[in-house]
A and B are shown apart, each in its own frame.
Chain A
Amino acid sequence: MSNTDIERPRPEAEVSAGEALLVEPSRLSPTRRALTTVLRSRELSIFLVLVAVVVLATTKNNGFIFSNDGWRNFLLNPSILLLLAVGQAVVIITRNVDLSVGSVMALTAYLTGRLFIEMPDIPIVVVLAACLLVGAVLGLVNGVLVAYGGVPALVITLGTLYIYRGIMLTWAGSDRINAGDLPREFLQLGTRSVLGIPLLTIMALVVLAIVGYYLYTARGGRELYAIGSDPDAAVLYGLPVRRRLLAAFVLSGALAGLAGALYTARYGTVSSSVGLGIELQAVAAAVIGGVAIFGGSGTVWGAAIGAFLLVTINRALPSLGIEDFWQRAVVGALILGAIVLDRVLARRQARKLAESRDHS
Chain B
Amino acid sequence: ACGSDDDGGDSGSSGGDGGGSLSMTMLPKNLGNPYFDTSTAGAKEAADDLGAELEEVGPETASPDAQVSYINTVAQQGKDALILSANDPEALCDAIDEARSADVKVVTFDADTNPECRDLFVNQATAEGIASKQLELISEQIGGEGEIAILSAAANATNQNAWIDMMEKELADNPDYADIELVDTVYGDDDDQKSFDQTEALLQNHPDLKGIISPTTVGIAAAARYLSDSSSKGKVALTGLGTPNQMREYVENGTVESFALWNPSDLGALATYAAAALANGDISGEEGDSFEAGDLGEFTVDADGVVLLGEPFTFNADNIGDFDF
Whether chains A and B associate is yes
Which A residues fall within an 8 A CB radius of B?
61, 63-64, 67-70, 73, 77, 169, 172, 174-176, 178-180, 187-188, 191, 267-269, 271-274, 276, 314-315, 318-319, 324
Main secondary structure of the interface of A (DSSP, over half): helix
Contacts A63-B204, A272-B32, A319-B205 given; indicate if A178 touches B61 (C-beta within 8 A).
no
Contacts of A169 in B (CB 8 A): 32, 60
Contacts beyond the supplied A68-B231, A176-B37, A276-B61: 10 A-B pairs with Cβ under 8 Å: A69-B200, A69-B203, A69-B204, A175-B37, A176-B32, A178-B245, A271-B33, A271-B192, A271-B218, A272-B32
Across the interface, which residues of B come within 8 angstroms of A315, CB to CB?
Answer: 200-201, 204
B37–A174 touching, CB < 8 Å: yes
Closest to B37 in A: A174
For this complex, 10 residue pairs linking A to B, each with C-beta atoms less than 8 Å apart, are: A63-B204, A69-B200, A69-B203, A178-B34, A269-B192, A269-B222, A269-B225, A273-B61, A273-B193, A319-B204
Contact B249 A176 (CB under 8 A): no
Output the least CB separation between A59 and chain B (Å): 14
Of listed B33, B61, B229, residue having the most chain A CB within 10 A: B229
A63 touches B192 (CB 8 A): no
In whole angstroms, how far apart are the Cα atoms of A174 and B246 in the complex?
15
B30 within 8 A of A: yes
Q: How far is the CB of B271 from chain A (nearest CB, A)?
A: 18
Chain B residues with CB under 8 Å of A191's CB are 229
With beta carbons under 8 angstroms apart, the residue of A77, A172, A178 that contacts B246 is: A178
Tell me the minimal C-beta distance from A319 to chain B in angstroms: 7
Q: Does B221 contact A (CB under 8 A)?
A: yes
Nearest A residue to B189 by beta-carbon distance?
A: A273
Query: From residue 202 to 231 of chain B, which have CB atoms closer than 8 A to chain A?
Result: 203-205, 207, 218, 221-222, 225, 229-231
Q: Are B249 and A179 in contact (CB under 8 A)?
A: yes
A-B contact count (CB 8 A): 86
With a cutoff of 8 Å between Cβ atoms, the chain B residues found around residue A77 in the complex are 197, 200
> A69–B249 contact, CB under 8 A?
no
Query: By the criterion CB–CB under 8 Å, are A267 and B196 in contact?
Result: yes
Nearest Cβ distance between residue A169 and chain B, in whole angstroms? 7
Are B246 and A267 interface neighbours, CB within 8 A? Answer: no
| Known contacts A180-B246, A318-B205; A267 and B225 CB within 8 A of each other | yes
- Give bound CA distance, A274 to B61, whole Å: 11
B31→A272 contact, CB < 8 A: yes
- Tell which of A61, A69, A314 touches B205, judged by Cβ atoms closer than 8 Å: A61
User: If the complex has contacts A69-B204, A315-B201, are A273 and B60 also in contact, measured as CB distance less than 8 A?
Assistant: yes
Instruction: Give the CA-CA distance A61 to B223 in the complex, in Å.
Output: 22
Asked whether, in the complex, the Cβ of B34 is within 8 Å of the Cβ of A61, the reply is no
- Is the pair B32, A70 in contact by a Cβ cutoff of 8 Å? no
Given contacts A68-B231, A169-B60, A271-B191, contact A178 B31 (CB under 8 A): no
B200–A73 CB distance below 8 A: yes
Q: Does B141 contact A (CB under 8 A)?
A: no
Residue of B nearest to A274 (CB): B193
Instruction: Give the CA-CA distance A83 to B172 in the complex, in Å.
Output: 47
Chain A nearest Cβ from B186, distance in angstroms: 9
Q: What residues on B are CB-neighbors of A73 within 8 Å?
A: 200, 204
Instruction: Name the residue on A nearest B248 (C-beta).
Output: A180
The CA of A187 and the CA of B197, in the complex, are separated in Å by 17
Least CB separation from B207: chain A residue: A63
Q: How far is the CB of A70 from chain B (nearest CB, A)?
A: 6
Provide the residues of chain B in CB contact with A64, threshold 8 Å: 204
Residues of B within 8 A of A176 (CB): 32-34, 37
Which residue of B is nearest A62, CB measured?
A: B207
- Write the nearest CB–CB distance from A250 to chain B, whole angstroms: 27
Q: Roughly how many angstroms separate A70 CA and B231 CA in the complex, as a whole number?
A: 10
Q: Which chain B positions have C-beta within 8 A of A67?
A: 204, 207, 231
Interfacial chain A residues near B60, Cβ < 8 Å:
169, 272-273
A69-B232, A273-B191 as given contacts; A180 in contact with B249, CB under 8 Å: yes
